[in-house]
Each structure stands twice: as C-alpha cells, then as structure tokens.
C-alpha cells in the first residue's frame, strides 16, 4: 500500500508553548486513519501544517509523493489534490447551498464545465438536493455539517483531512456523514480524521494514531494497539449476592461492593474455576459480563485520566 | 435579584473591552479630538486669513497707503501679483485675471480699487466710486463681508490724515471755511499724523483684535447679485464704498451650490463608513473559518485582498452614484452634463478606490469586529471633520486646512468634486486630486498587504 501522506518529526512552537514535539504520521492510499489525542495534544496544529496554514519549525511533510515542506510552488500545486474539512462551519450563511458549492468549487479550481455536475453530485451526496435553493443559515446543524464537508471535497481530492466532522450533530446526521465519507473512500480517497468520538473512530478507522504532548505515542490497527497497551486479557465482571470472602481475592481479582472484577487472558479456561470457588464459598452469581478492550480503554491507558485543560 | 442583575451587567461590561471602550472612552476621545481640531488650543484662536487679491487701478499715494494698511492686517492675506520666479518680472493682477483666480477658488475675494480712489476715499458725501469686491458669494457668503469691514478699519487705521482732510472738507462745505490760522495748524498736524501712522505700519504693529469681524463693515451690499453701492451718504455706503460682484453666473441659486457641496461631503463620509463595514467582512470570514478555507483553497492572500478591495470599491462607487442621482432627481443637482458626468465618474472611481483601500487597512489592523467598530468610528469622523465633510474647510485655520490635506483624502475628494460641479474646471484640471487619491490607494493597499500577513501561514 503506497503512502499518500507522511509527516516526520514535526516541531512547532508558539511563544512558550511547544505544540508539536516530533509528531509523525503516515496515511496510505485508500486508508482511513484516525488521529486521536486529548485536547491540546497538537492534532489541529498538525492538520493545519499539512493544509499549509502553519509553517513547521522542523520536520518534513510529504504529500502524494511531493515534499511540500520545502518547495512552496510545489506545495501549492500538490495541495490542489488535498481536501480540508474544517471543524468550524465555514460557510457563507447568506448564500444558498448551491451558491456555497459554486463559490468554493470555483475557488478550488474546478473547471467551469465540470462544476455543475459536481454540484449536482454534492447535493445528492449530502441529501440536500431539495434544499439547494435555501440559505445556509436556515439549515440545521447536521445539514450545515454535510454542506461543510461537501464544499471541501467537491474537487475530488485524493487526500482528505477531516477535523471533527461530526461534532454537535444528532445520531441520524452523524450516520449520514459516515455514509458520505465511506462513499468517498470507495472512490479511492484516503481520509485522515480527528475526533473525540472514540467509539466511532474504532468502528470506521483502519488504523489509529494517538498523539499527546505534541508527540506520536501509539500507532497501529485496533488489535495492535490493544496488544501493545492493555494486552490480550479481558475483563470479566461478576455480580454476587453477598460480598466475597477475602480468600477469593487475588492480584487479578478485585472486589468493588458486590462486583468482582477479574482480568483473564483465556476466559474459557479461567472463568469456570472461579465460578466453582464462588459456589463453594456459598456465593450466588447473579450476572456475568465479559468486556472486550475498547479504544476508550486504550486511549485512557495511554494518555491517563488527568484533565488537560 | 435586581442587585444580581446589576452585578452581572457590570461584570459583562468590564470584561468586554470593546464595549467598555465604546461606552466611556470613545466619547472622551471624540470630545478631545474635536476640541483640538476646532478649539483655540490648536488653531491659535483664529481662522485662516481671508485671501484677497487687490488690484490697484488708481495707483496713487493714498491707494498705496491703503493697500499697505490692508497688508498689515493679519486677518487678510493680500495678494497683488501672482507667484513668479525670482528672476522673472512681476505682473500685477488685472481685474480679469483676479476674477479668474476668484472663480477658480484660489482666492476668496478680489478688491478692485477704482481710478480716483485716492481722491475720493473717505468722502463723507457718499459719491466716491465704489471698490468692487469680486467674490463667490454663494459658497462663501462671509469673506466679502470680512474684507469690507476690514477695509473700513484699514482706512481709519492706515490713513487717518486723509480721513480728517475729508472730514474737514465736508465741515467747510456746510459750516464755512477754516480761518487761515486754523488751516495752518491743521496743515502742520496732518503730516505729523501721517508720519506716526507710517512708522507704526513699518513696525508691523498688530491691530487690537486679530479676529475678523464680519459685522465690522456696513458698506458692502450682501446681496449675491451685482448691485451698485448705495450713495446716499457715508452712513450707508461706508467710508470705503463697495460693490459686491458675484463671479459665479452659472449657478442660479445658492441652493444648487449647497446641493453640490452636501452631495459630495455626505457621500464621501458615508462612503468611509461603508468601506469600513465592507472591510469588516474579512474579520467576519476570519471568525467563521471561511478565511481559513479560502486560503487553504490556494486563493492566495494577495488575490483575496484585491478581490475584496475591488468589490468594496465598486460598492462604494454605486453608493456615491445613488446619492448623486438622488441629488440630481430630487434636488436638481447638475449631473447630466457631459463635463459633470465624466468628472463625477472619474472622481467617484478614484475616491471609492482610495476609500476601499482604507477599509481594508482598518480591517487588517483590527483583531475583531468590535475593535474595527471603535477604530473606524474614530477614523471616519475625524477624517470627515478635518477633511471638510462636516463643514467647509475654508472656515478652518490654515494649519488645520493643511492637516486636512495631508491626513485625509476627504479634502482631496471634495476639492475634486468642487472642481467638477462648482468651478467647472476642465477634466485635466483634476490631475492633482487624481494623483493624490491614486497614491493613497496604492500606499494603503501595500500597507494592507503587509498587515494581512498575520492571516497567512506562520
């Protein structure tokens, strides 16, 4: 799989604040990469550096085979194949959906002959065909988000950067947005996504990169991240009818009120003996839950529970 | 409950620096600026001296002394010949050339001292030939009255011996001749009196008051149209009888002059407000994220600024055009003559371009729309005040007029419009205004581009 975007050893300092301290990412063709991190970790700075809105103090950015961190003209030309979906609703509120698409499509360099076709595609794609003549300011949050995305991908970019594309929208609109992005991916676009919706990132992304304090601290598929951080064990929760006796508790089995929390590498082998011991001690098991490790667990494991802001 | 609401209001106000500024500091700043502009602290308490050309057709000793007395008056700026190179001979103004200068607005009044002036000035009989005061009495209804009053004073202050001679003549006419002894005494005293006055004049003695007093003279007829001076007696005609002649014959009424001035003055002031609001769309785009998106789409900052500048300039052009059209249709402004229309288009294009550049600079130098609101209000009102949009600059001190020319483009724009609509100057005569406005446009655009670097990648 060829690499369409790579950032190596990115450094950026604002005054006294070091926003990036060596962050690196790679995005492969047709891939969906989730870029995660706590608030202030450096995600937006990294995205803005790729988009050309932030100049790195140090580091290299390679986009679609071109080193865009050194040659300005090459960067301008190469970035024409980049789509950037900002976190803000960056639309003209007093223009209609169609007029917004026309404006940003033209500014993106779409030839006039293709523009109308692309606008029709975008209106269908976003589900806004019947609202094409309505002013953007009259749209709901979800509709604005969809139009916001459409304005950034109208020129069929090969690489798309999405900064929290689903923030503040209802589940229906969110699903529609994921469907829209899946369609782009089918057309061959590679997507770099930042989000705090970890469950969604876990579902849609092929690979996850986590950055914190301006550095890349983890990178890989979901399974790789779980193995590298939490390990292969699963958490088993057993709800009892009475507190367990102390002889039942070990390093891997802890008690919280009437709930036993056990960490098991092989649930099929380790769970039956525990159930037998509980039965022998006169405890009844009212409920059993086996928890798979989630991205949330990995994220908290890597970045800790401390607030960052 | 009410106390909590009050407390909340106070906290919100004190934490919104823009609001605080607008509420308390802006009025103070304006108050101070206007005091400085119009008050005595800056202008020295005097308006600009009235520029007056004197054409001495009499060329007598008495007329020379009278002209010298006028030159000694600091309230007047007396011109007797056009500016010329040091090695070139001087050619005094003629009646015709003086009239042209007044017509072009380069001098406010021309006083034509008639032949026989020296023989008859100060006559109490009222039969002296009047001094013609050529002026544009429509746009400047004050200057000729000031000159008229100061001429009366000049005669008394500069030639009291002549006044006494004329008075004695009048006395002898009705009360009998003086005795030889009285005549001898008078003949001895009058040269002494004249000598005293001349020595005072050479020492450049200042008059008691430097403030022109438009009510000082009673000899001039304030009617804008040319009318002969009344000759019934010196009580009506004044010691220096005058005849006011309006150099403008193409404007029927002072109403039209008022419309021409107000249309341009108001249009330029509101053009400035409009362009500052137009420039504010840059900040609006910045706040909404659209600016980021535009710059990511490789529009480029220079292209973006040029696009905004061009749009704001076009909008300004239309806005001024609408105002002048309104003036033409409702207030009978003479817009639809070829000279006026072409001149209007050229001046409006140049003014709108300069104003648009200012709008972009104001926006690029502010971080938020509230900052822009405060700054643009100060800049626009100050420029409008000293640039002549609020009232004519001829009533300001020379220093303030100079500041108006250097610090505002209102002054240049209004001068251009006046040339077009009032002085009917040929289009080529607009070159100084067009040159300055073009330089302002380019200069401000360069400044805006430099300021806009903060929006670029950093």
Name which residue leads in pLDDT, A287 or B2: A287
Question: Is B288 an 8 Å CB contact of chain A?
Answer: yes
Dist CA B81 CA B110 (whole Å) = 12
A81 SS3 class: helix
pLDDT for the residue B227: 42
**Closest A-chain CA to B286:** A90
A300 SS3 class: helix
Question: Is B292 an 8 Å CB contact of chain A?
Answer: yes
For A86, the closest of B293, B457, B458 (CB atoms) is B293
For A90, the closest of B290, B298, B299 (CB atoms) is B290
Query: Which residues does A contribute to its contact with B (CB < 8 Å)?
Result: 51-55, 76, 79-80, 84, 86-93, 104, 107-109, 151-152
Q: How confident is the model at residue A309 (pLDDT cuts 50, 70, 90)?
A: low
pLDDT for the residue B230: 41
CB contact under 8 A, A107 and B297: yes
CA distance B300 to chain A (A): 10
Q: What angle do CA B221, B218, B123 make, to 5 degrees?
A: 100
Verdict on whether the full-model pTM lies above 0.80:
no
CA distance A87 to chain B (A): 9
For B296, the closest of A53, A91, A93 (CB atoms) is A53
Q: Using CA atoms of A225, A227, A231, A235 in order, give the dihedral in degrees to the nearest 10.
A: 70
Q: What is the mean pLDDT of chain A?
A: 89
Name which residue leads in pLDDT, B378 or A208: A208
CB contact under 8 A, A89 and B288: yes
For every residue of chain B, which 3-state class applies, written as one string? CHHHHHHHHHHHHHHCHHHHHHHHHHHHHHHHHHHHHHCHHHHCCCCCCEEEEEEECCCCHHHHHHHHHHHHCCCEEEECCCCCCCCCCCCCCCHHHHHHHHHCCCCCEEEEECCCHHHHCCCCCCCCCCEEEEECCCCCCCHHHHHHHHHHHHHHHHCHHHHHHHHHHHHHHHHCCCCHHHHHHHHHHHHHHHHHHHHHHHCCCCCCCCCCCCCCCCCCCCCCCCCCCCCCCHHHHCCCCEEEEECCCCCCCHHHHHHHHHHHHHHHHHHHHHHHHHHHHHHHHHHHCHHHHHHHCCCCHHHHHHHHHHHHHHHHHHHHHHHHHHHHHHHCCCCCCHHHHHHHHHHHHHHHHHHHHHHHHHHHCCCCHHHHHHHHHHHHHHHHHHHCCCCCHHHCCHHHHHHHHHHCCHHHHHHHHHHHHCCCCCHHHHHHHHHHHHHHHHHHHHHHHHHHHHHCCC
- What is the ipTM metric for this complex? 0.82
CB contact under 8 A, A84 and B293: yes
CB contact under 8 A, A90 and B295: no
For chain B, 458 residues long, give each residue's pLDDT as a single digit of tens.
788 888 888 887 777 776 677 677 777 777 777 776 666 444 555 567 888 999 999 888 888 888 888 888 888 899 988 887 777 777 889 989 998 888 877 888 999 999 888 887 766 666 778 889 998 877 777 888 888 888 888 887 777 777 777 777 777 777 778 788 888 887 887 777 777 766 766 654 444 333 333 333 344 444 434 444 444 444 445 567 788 887 776 655 667 777 888 888 889 999 999 999 898 999 999 999 999 999 888 788 999 999 999 999 999 999 999 999 998 998 888 889 998 999 999 999 999 999 999 999 999 998 888 888 888 888 898 888 888 888 777 777 777 788 888 888 889 999 999 888 887 888 999 999 999 999 999 999 999 999 999 898 77
CB contact under 8 A, A90 and B293: yes
CA distance A40 to chain B (A): 18
For B298, the closest of A80, A86, A89 (CB atoms) is A80
Task: Give chain A positions within 8 Å (CB) of B296.
Answer: 51-53, 79, 84
Dist CA B72 CA B65 (whole Å) = 10
Dist CA B407 CA B420 (whole Å) = 23
pLDDT for the residue B249: 66
CB contact under 8 A, A108 and B297: yes
Q: How confident is the model at residue A89 (pLDDT cuts 50, 70, 90)?
A: very high
pLDDT for the residue B394: 74
pLDDT in tens, A224-268: 888 888 887 888 899 988 887 777 777 667 788 888 888 888 889
Mean pLDDT for A120-132 is 94
**Closest B-chain CA to A56:** B458
- Chain B interface, best mutation among A53, A102, A161, by max B CB count within 10 A: A53
């Amino acid at each position: 799989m060829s690499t369409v975007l790579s950032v190596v050893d990115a450094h950026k300092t604002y005054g006294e604040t070091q926003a990036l301290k060596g962050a690196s990412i790679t995005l492969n063709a047709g891939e969906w990469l989730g870029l995660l991190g706590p608030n202030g970790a450096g995600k937006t700075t990294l995205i803005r550096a790729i988009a050309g809105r932030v100049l790195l103090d140090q580091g290299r950015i390679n986009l679609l085979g071109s080193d865009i961190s050194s040659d300005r003209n090459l960067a301008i030309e190469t970035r024409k194949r980049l789509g950037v979906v900002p976190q803000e609703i960056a639309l003209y509120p007093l223009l209609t959906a169609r007029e917004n698409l026309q404006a940003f499509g033209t500014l993106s360099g779409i030839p006039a002959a293709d523009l109308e076709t692309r606008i029709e595609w975008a209106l269908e794609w976003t589900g806004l065909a019947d609202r094409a003549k309505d002013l953007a300011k009259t749209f709901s949050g979800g509709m604005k988000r969809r139009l916001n995305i459409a304005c950034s991908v109208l020129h069929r970019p090969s690489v798309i950067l999405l900064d929290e594309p689903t923030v503040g929208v209802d589940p229906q609109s969110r699903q529609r947005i994921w469907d829209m992005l899946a369609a782009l991916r089918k057309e061959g676009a590679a997507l770099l996504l930042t989000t705090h919706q970890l469950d969604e990132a876990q579902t849609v992304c092929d690979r996850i990169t986590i950055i914190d304090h301006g550095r890349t601290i983890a990178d890989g598929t979901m399974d790789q991240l779980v193995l590298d951080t939490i390990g292969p064990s699963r958490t088993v929760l057993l709800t009892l009818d009475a507190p367990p006796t102390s002889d039942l508790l070990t390093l891997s089995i802890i008690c919280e009120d009437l709930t036993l929390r056990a960490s098991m590498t092989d649930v099929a082998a380790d769970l039956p003996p525990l159930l037998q011991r509980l039965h022998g001690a006169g405890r009844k098991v009212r409920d059993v839950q086996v928890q798979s490790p989630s991205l949330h667990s990995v994220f908290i494991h890597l970045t800790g529970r401390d607030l960052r802001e | 409950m009410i106390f909590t609401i009050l407390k909340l209001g106070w906290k919100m106000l004190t934490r919104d620096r823009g609001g605080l500024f607008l509420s308390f500091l802006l009025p103070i700043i304006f108050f101070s600026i206007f005091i400085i502009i119009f008050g005595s602290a800056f202008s020295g308490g005097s308006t600009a001296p009235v520029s007056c050309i004197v054409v001495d057709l009499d060329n007598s000793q008495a007329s020379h002394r009278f002209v010298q007395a006028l030159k000694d008056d600091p309230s007047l700026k007396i011109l007797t010949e056009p500016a010329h190179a040091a090695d070139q001979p001087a050619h005094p103004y003629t009646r015709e050339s003086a009239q042209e200068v007044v017509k072009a607005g380069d001098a406010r009044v021309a006083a034509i001292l008639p032949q026989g002036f020296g023989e008859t000035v100060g006559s109490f009989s009222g039969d002296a030939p009047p001094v013609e005061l050529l002026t544009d009495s429509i746009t400047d209804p004050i200057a000729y009255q000031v000159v008229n009053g100061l001429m009366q004073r000049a005669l008394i202050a500069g030639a009291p011996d002549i006044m006494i001679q004329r008075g004695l003549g009048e006395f002898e006419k009705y009360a009998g001749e003086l005795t030889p002894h009285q005549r001898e005494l008078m003949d001895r005293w009058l040269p002494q009196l004249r000598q005293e006055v001349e020595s005072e004049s050479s020492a450049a003695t200042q008059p008691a008051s430097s403030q022109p007093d438009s009510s000082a003279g009673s000899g001039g007829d304030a009617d804008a149209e040319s009318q002969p001076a009344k000759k019934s007696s010196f009580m009506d005609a004044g010691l220096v009888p005058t005849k006011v002649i309006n150099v403008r014959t193409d404007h029927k009424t002072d109403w039209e002059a008022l419309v021409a001035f107000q249309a341009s003055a108001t249009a330029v002031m509101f053009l400035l407000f409009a362009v500052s609001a137009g420039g504010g769309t840059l900040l609006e785009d910045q706040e909404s994220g659209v600016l980021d998106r535009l710059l990511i789409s490789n529009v480029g900052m220079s292209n973006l600024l040029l696009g905004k500048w061009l749009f704001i300039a076009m909008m300004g052009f239309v806005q001024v055009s609408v105002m002048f059209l309104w003036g033409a249709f409702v207030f009978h402004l003479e817009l639809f003559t070829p000279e006026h229309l072409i001149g209007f288009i050229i001046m409006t294009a140049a003014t709108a371009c300069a104003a648009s550049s200012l709008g972009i600079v104001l926006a690029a130098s502010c971080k938020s729309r509230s900052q822009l609101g405060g700054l643009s209000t100060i800049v626009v009102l100050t420029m409008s005040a000293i640039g002549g949009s609020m009232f004519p600059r001829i009533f300001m001190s020379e220093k303030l007029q100079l500041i108006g020319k250097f610090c505002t483009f209102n002054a240049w724009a209004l001068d251009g419009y006046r040339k077009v609509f009032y002085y009917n100057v040929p289009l080529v005569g607009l070159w100084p205004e067009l040159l300055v406005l073009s330089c302002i446009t380019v200069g401000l655009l360069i400044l805006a581009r430099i300021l806009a670097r903060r929006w670029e990648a950093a």
